[in-house]
Amino acid sequence: MAASKYSKIFEPIKIRRLEIKNRIAMAPMGVGGLTTIEGAFSQRAIDYYIERAIGGTGLIITSLVWIENEIEKHRMPSIPCTSVNPAYFIQTASELTEGVHAYGARIFLQLTAGVGRVGRPAGLLSQPIAPSAIPNYWDPTITCREITVKEVERLVQAFGEAAKVAVAAGFDGVEIHAVHEGYLIDQFTIAMFNRRTDKYGGDLKGRLTLPVEIVKEIKEEAGADFPVQLRYSIKSFIKDWRQGGLPGEKFKEAGRDTEEGLKAARILEEAGYDAFNADAGRAMRPGIGPTPRFIRNMGAISP
DSSP secondary structure string for all residues of 28-88: -----S-B-TTSSBPHHHHHHHHHHHHTT-SEEEPPPEES-SSSSPBPSSSS-BTTTSHHH
Which DSSP state fits 300?
A: G
14: enclosing H helix or E strand: strand 13-15
- Residue 4: inside a domain: no
Query: Residue 162 in contact with residue 217, Cβ under 8 Å?
Result: no
- Residue 150: inside a domain: yes
Give me the pLDDT at residue 181, please: 84
CATH (domain of 84): 3.20.20.70
Residue 183 annotated in active site: yes
Residue span of the structural domain in which 153 resides: 11-300
Q: What is the pTM of this model?
A: 0.91
- Report the alpha-carbon distance of residue 139 to residue 152 in Å, rounded: 24
- Residue 3: inside a domain: no
Active-site residue among 6, 48, 103, 183? Answer: 183
- Residue 1: inside a domain: no
| Number of domains, the chain | 1
pLDDT digits (tens, 9 = 90+) for 60-85: 999 999 999 999 999 988 899 999 99
Per DSSP, helices labelled H in 169-300 are 184-189, 204-207, 209-222, 258-271
Residue ranges of the chain with per-residue pLDDT less than 50? 1, 284-303
> How far is C-alpha 191 from the chain's CA centre?
19
Give me the pLDDT at residue 192, please: 96
Report how far apart, in Å, the C-alpha atoms of 233 and of each of 185, 212, 237, 262, 268 are: 12, 16, 10, 10, 13
- Report the alpha-carbon distance of residue 229 to residue 184 in Å, rounded: 17
- Residue 37: inside a domain: yes
Query: Residue 176 in contact with residue 185, Cβ under 8 Å?
Result: yes
Give me the pLDDT at residue 291, please: 34
Give me the pLDDT at residue 33, please: 80
Give me the pLDDT at residue 3, please: 60
Give me the pLDDT at residue 288, please: 31
- Residue 276: inside a domain: yes
- Residue 236: inside a domain: yes
- Residue 5: inside a domain: no
Give me the pLDDT at residue 283, please: 54
